[in-house]
Chains A and B, each alone.
Chain A
Amino acid sequence: ELKVEQNPLFLSMQEGKNYTIYCNYSTTSDRLYWYRQDPGKSLESLFVLLSNGAVKQEGRLMASLDTKARLSTLHITAAVHDLSATYFCAVDETSGSRLTFGEGTQLTVNP
């Protein structure tokens, strides 16, 4: 059974600081997704990582994938309040099949 673990689960940080969220998964997969969820809202796709060594950046967020270590990271640079949300990583074992989600990281960026 595929397990996906995120840490930390809760993250409170000050504006302007950097931090990294980690996503570990238990079986072989080369497809990993990062989603953002605002309170009471649905999920918004942030990044799709499809191969070992993939790195994608959008604004202050950068995601990377190491399939050998079964690890993805979401790095936040110079955080701003608008980044406050819950971030989920998700993995699918087989292309197009179900996604297995991590528990989510609730990020709060304080002024």
Chain B
Amino acid sequence: GAGVSQSPSNKVTEKGKDVELRCDPISGHTALYWYRQRLGQGLEFLIYFQGNSAPDKSGLPSDRFSAERTGESVSTLTIQRTQQEDSAVYLCASSSRSGGIYYEQYFGPGTRLTVT
């Protein structure tokens, strides 16, 4: 079946502009995660949605970052007034749940954001 998809695949924006990144999780996956990967580094957690519960926003680096998810479908990560340090690959992942157990996270291809 279809995997996690993200759009756009690449985004170049000028400093100070707002950007929106989109994630379509695997159908039926109740949990959705956003991570950021700076060049040559590991992944940093940003935000996590679990069904209809309040999202865990504890990884968002500043109030310029926000994310929304509609039910158990698509999610949008918004970065306002972009800065050069926001340049990174933004990865989305989703996972399913059965009997209270969450399964592994499947990652999308990522959106490469470049702020000039």
Complex alpha-carbon distance, A104 and B14, angstroms: 30
Task: Flag if A98 contacts B59 (CB, 8 Å).
Answer: yes
Task: Flag if B104 contacts A88 (CB, 8 Å).
Answer: no
A-B contact count (CB 8 A): 52
Instruction: Collect the chain B residues with CB atoms within 8 Å of residue A95's CB.
Output: 100-102
Contact bitstring B48-85, A, C-beta under 8 A = 1, else 0 = 10100000100100000000000000000000000000
Instruction: Collect the chain A residues with CB atoms within 8 Å of residue B50's CB.
Output: 96
Interface residue tally on B, bucketed by range: 20 to 34
Complex alpha-carbon distance, A100 and B43, angstroms: 8
Task: Flag if B91 contacts A43 (CB, 8 Å).
Answer: yes
What is the distance, in angstroms, from B89's C-beta to the closest C-beta of chain A? 9
Instruction: Collect the chain A residues with CB atoms within 8 Å of residue B44's CB.
Output: 101
Residue among B31, B33, B48, B109 making CB contact with A42, cutoff 8 Å: B109
Task: Flag if B42 contacts A103 (CB, 8 Å).
Answer: yes
Task: Flag if A99 contacts B101 (CB, 8 Å).
Answer: no
Instruction: Collect the chain B residues with CB atoms within 8 Å of residue A44's CB.
Output: 107
Residue among B43, B108, B109 making CB contact with A99, cutoff 8 Å: B43
Interface residue tally on A, bucketed by range: 20 to 34
Q: Does A41 contact B (CB under 8 A)?
A: yes
Task: Flag if B43 contacts A97 (CB, 8 Å).
Answer: no
Residue among A48, A88, A98, A104 making CB contact with B33, cutoff 8 Å: A98
Q: Does A45 contact B (CB under 8 A)?
A: yes
Task: Flag if B42 contacts A88 (CB, 8 Å).
Answer: yes
**Chain B residues with a Cβ under 8 A of chain A:** 31, 33, 35, 41-45, 48, 50, 56, 59, 91, 95, 97, 100-110
Closest A-B pairs by Cβ, 6 of them:
A96-B102, A101-B42, A98-B45, A43-B107, A101-B43, A42-B107
27 contacts across the A-B interface (CB closer than 8 A): A33-B105, A35-B107, A42-B91, A42-B108, A42-B109, A42-B110, A43-B91, A43-B107, A44-B107, A48-B103, A48-B104, A88-B42, A88-B43, A90-B43, A96-B95, A96-B97, A96-B101, A96-B102, A97-B56, A98-B33, A98-B48, A99-B43, A99-B45, A101-B42, A101-B43, A103-B41, A104-B42
